């Protein structure tokens, strides 16, 4: 994370916004106190909508056991 003063940010904004565009976070200070963080925008697609490889684990099937248990109870 980069840190800068408000004045330095104002004077060199392009450099700091280039860093943010590259994935870095910039914390801005005024009078020695943090006043803001400039963070990159996350991908436009929510994580639950992204294409991912399904997780497969060998072994006991929990959903199968639940269904089997329900059939035995009925």
Q: Which domain holds residue 10?
A: 1-43
Tell me if 49 is assigned to some domain.
Answer: no
Q: Kindly state whether residue 20 falls inside one of the protein's structural domains.
A: yes
Residue 24 in domain: yes
- Does residue 66 lie in a domain region? no
pTM greater than 0.75: no
What does the alpha-carbon distance between residue 30 and residue 23 come to, in Å, rounded to a whole number?
Answer: 23
Work out how many domains the chain is built from and give that number. 1
Higher-confidence residue of 50 and 4: namely 4
Separation CA 43–CA 36 (nearest Å): 21
Tens of pLDDT, residue by residue over 39-67, are 998 777 777 777 878 777 787 788 888 89
Residue 63 has a pLDDT of: 85
């Amino acid at each position: 994370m980069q840190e800068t003063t408000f004045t330095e940010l104002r004077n060199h904004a392009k450099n700091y916004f280039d860093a943010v565009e590259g994935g870095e976070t910039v914390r801005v200070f005024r009078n020695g106190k943090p006043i803001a963080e400039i963070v990159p925008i996350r991908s436009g697609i929510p994580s639950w909508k992204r294409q991912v490889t399904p997780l497969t684990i060998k072994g006991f099937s929990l959903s199968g056991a639940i269904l089997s248990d329900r059939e035995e109870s009925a």
